[in-house]
Amino acid sequence: MAKLLFHLRNVPDDEADDVRQLLTAHGFDWYETRPGPWGISGGALWLRDADAHADARRLLDDYQRRRREQAREREAREGRQGFLELLRERPEFVLPRLAAIVALVLLVLALPWLLLR
């Protein structure tokens, strides 16, 4: 019986192509279902042999770990920062914006209560 291996919804084309090539190169018997016409299903890669799922999952997990590391290295080279790094390096930039966001959220949450009094 077939077993789902990899959802294709919101997956970049290059990653989906890499996964297809990886499965083929390692001799896994797989097939692909395409996205539905109304966007309800996103498509997926399936293994025909459910017994091979554990091996394929390990291979796929290793690929995704390497891809994540490459993306982080690329972000570091390009100078992209996460929230905490930006907060540490430029608090005068982050804190006013954070305060504005909190104020807007509080306003949106409190406004219906205030108007319906």
Asked if residue 56 lies in contact with residue 16, where contact means CB atoms within 8 angstroms, the answer is no
Residue numbers of the domain that contains 11: 1-80
**Please, which pLDDT band fits residue 43 given cuts at 50, 70 and 90?**
very high
pTM for the full predicted model: 0.66
Question: CA 101, 107, 109, 110 torsion: positive or negative?
Answer: positive
Same domain, 1 and 52: yes
Same domain, 75 and 89: no
Same domain, 11 and 63: yes
Same domain, 70 and 97: no
**Please, which pLDDT band fits residue 117 given cuts at 50, 70 and 90?**
confident
Same domain, 75 and 46: yes
**Please, which pLDDT band fits residue 36 given cuts at 50, 70 and 90?**
confident
Same domain, 87 and 50: no
How many domains does one find in the chain?
2
Mean of pLDDT values over 75-96: 86
